[in-house]
Structure 1
């Protein structure tokens, strides 16, 4: 889901923060003192920083695998082939296959200027994966009997075009018909003219509300960050808390996700790789590491790391934090019009995998779980620049699953260009 404001995409993906009606802030987490080597040992696996050469020739950092040597070698080659072909500076892949083994790799560079190697212990901006946290928070309010999925959005947020007929379910399923604010040319210009600008939820919604709705509620699928910003406002109104605080209290703490956070602005805990994008007014590649993600808020502003995302993948797919009835509602996926891809309440299915991907200028992620094998895949990269019209994170996920789970190949980008 490319969480991007650029015209070239349907703008699938991500993210924002607020000071007026929708403040979404928590202090940035303190930097972890552990090195990548310690991170591997903490997972019961051993690795060390490698010697690394010129860009494009870096060795794996913290390499660990308990899969067979043959499968490990195939994965190593496939990941490196995609990284080089797609021009991805740095890649982290974590794959866990119960009964078969695991595979954790960091390869390439975290910083193209210093050639600092990519490591497995870094934080990244997770873009649209934020949607899984926002919708989980919403569904907890459903379990609390404080809202219903079939409530009209007008009951909670005034001023939404056709809001009396658009339900919370429509918003979470991406079937509201509300225009995606990230596709508005004025928004694109305003964001890219000043990537440090702080946007409130109401400000970004205004860009989308200038446009006519694109279809009647429930009749079609259209990926729109407008939907998630509205759900964030619903959570704030019903809970009486800032979205970031509610997610921290009701989602992150119970899930024991200690390295996942909802930033107030551009703050970014260490360690983290630099992130590179060509979503600029000129189209030139820029370092987007410290761009303010407030514009993405409930749709894509969050930050996490490999360990937390591994844990979160299983929680989302199995519904650990929800009642069985509410989890069943989340998993009722509907066709998207994209081959092999269906979408439910803030999650998708592709090739049997359940989860979400994320994209925000500078970073892309994939976090998915395969219930049939109890397998988990997490991918983190430090670029969102497409390769021949495709998301580089999707290319990696397809290559990895084609080898590790050939009967269940991931092909889940939700941002057609």
Structure 2
């Protein structure tokens, strides 16, 4: 999932949170290289600014892997963070789902020009005019179901109802489309739930089975799996996620989110609630992957180096359209973002689900990788924390690109 939280917090209406005291957490014992002081300091500054925790992993492709974990002391009663922890990956999931779909294109089971109606008969209005390519690059015009009031209650944990993928699509299409198919760009989780159903229809297999057989098992990704249905994430080895409580979150929400929206979960210190096991049924193909920084780096390397897709389809994946004007440094391909940073261009995605924000990138060859995984979404809407996190991401990308 991705809530399109603006990465420049000054553009949001914000409310200051009282920063809690922090203490550095030792880096995992099996790291291969001591972290540069600058990255370690920046990671600590994110926590000092109020974020519950952060994981950083940088591989510059020359055998020097940096792994850092930092957390606020009050979070230790729930879990002691390590750089090897599992993490809810949110919309990074879309890159993996897009890879499966493009593999099916390579096998001539589906085509990028196929209309949605061919595979999901009667499920999506005007489905004859929407192609798989439009779903993949968010040019379908379909409304983002996450902002449907009923779905939003489940996404925030206020409602424990388990949503099915077809119900999520129905919630999206009961709203008017944003524009005619192919006439613009608008990020929508509805697109990727539809793609998950199409992959299942084309193969006769469940999406989690397809991801396991085609990606996680061949690559040896032992920490990576898709949460499906009413299942809750397995908490062993999973970093805990947190969001500001109801008393603090209102001014941090982006425009358009209904007043009174708040996350459910056990109360924690510093005005947070623990959202680790919140209702995950609204995510699935749009944001339901669990992984680790190490596993995701292996996936990114395999994808961008050409191991998972033929060259022609990797080129299609990297054929981009402009994202909204508020993100002038980002362009969207087929489940893959092209991001211009202060140190160069990278490829990857970002993602947000309750309690988790992640950015994972690689260079154009897949040789170098970076991940910054932070255990909150709206804790980063506080200007000080958001600015510290952006500084950390920029520095980590620069370290990756050397």
TM-score between both structures, scaled by the size of structure 1 = 0.78
Counterparts of 1:115 and 1:179, CA distance in 2 = 37
> How many Å separate the matches in 2 of 1:110 and 1:157?
49
2:168–2:282 contact (8 Å) kept in structure 1: yes
Q: What secondary structure does 1:342 align onto?
A: strand
State the shift of 1:257 in Å.
Answer: 1.3
1:199 maps to 2:163:
yes
Partner residue in 2 for 1:272: 238
Question: 58-67 or 157-166, which moves further after superposition?
Answer: 58-67
Following superposition, the deviation at residue 116 of structure 1 comes to 4.4
Q: How many residues align?
A: 359
Q: Give 2:372's match in structure 1, choosing from 372, 379, 387.
A: 379
8 A contact 1:110–1:274 mirrored in 2:
no
Equivalent position SS for 1:387: helix
Q: Residue deviations 1:274-321, cap 9 Å, x none?
A: 211248656373211111211111000110112211201212322311
Q: CA deviation at 1:365?
A: 1.4
Counterpart in the other structure of 1:298: 285
TM superposition shift of 1:347: 0.7
- Hey, what's the Cα distance between the residues in 1 that align with 2:383 and 2:352? 12
Q: What SS does the aligned partner of 1:120 have?
A: coil
Larger CA deviation: 387-396 vs 170-179: 387-396
Confirm or deny that 1:90 pairs with 2:53: yes
Residues 156, 262 of structure 2: 8 Å contact kept: no
On the 8 A contact 2:140/2:180 being kept in 1, the answer is yes
Higher mean displacement: 181-190 or 140-149: 181-190
Report if the CA contact (8 A) 2:60-2:401 is conserved. Answer: no
* Post-superposition CA distance 1:366-403 (Å, at most 9, x none): 21101369321012222122434679689536534336
Bigger drift between 268-277 and 101-110 goes to 101-110
Instruction: Structure 2 unaligned segments of length 5 or more: list them.
Output: 8-19, 247-259, 264-271
Residue in structure 1 matched with residue 130 of structure 2 by the alignment? 166
Match of 1:326 in 2: 313
Kept in 2: contact 1:385–1:391 (CA 8 A): no
Other structure's SS at 2:392 match: helix
For 1:394 and 1:347, how far apart are their aligned partners in 2?
Answer: 25
Contact 2:51–2:380 under 8 Å retained in 1: no
Q: How does 1:254-403 map to 2 (within 5 A)?
A: 254-264=218-228, 265-278=231-244, 281=260, 283=262, 285-337=272-324, 338-351=327-340, 352-371=345-364, 374-388=367-381, 396=389, 398-402=391-395
| Equivalence map 1:127-206=2 (5 Å) | 127-158=90-121, 159-192=123-156, 194-206=158-170
Structure 1 counterpart of 2:178, from 195, 214, 229: 214
SS at match of 1:294: coil
Report the more deviating stretch, 105-114 or 315-324.
105-114
Alignment of structure 1 residues 98-137 onto 2, 5 Å:
98-99=61-62, 101-109=64-72, 112=75, 114=77, 116-137=79-100
Give the drift of 1:255: 2.2
How far off is 1:155 after superposition? 0.6
CA distance in 2, matches of 1:350, 1:231: 24
Structure 1 unmatched ranges of 5 or more: 11-53, 410-417
Residue aligning to 2:188: 224
Structure-2 change in CA distance of 1:273 and 1:110 (3 Å): farther
The alignment yields a C-alpha RMSD, in angstroms, of: 2.9
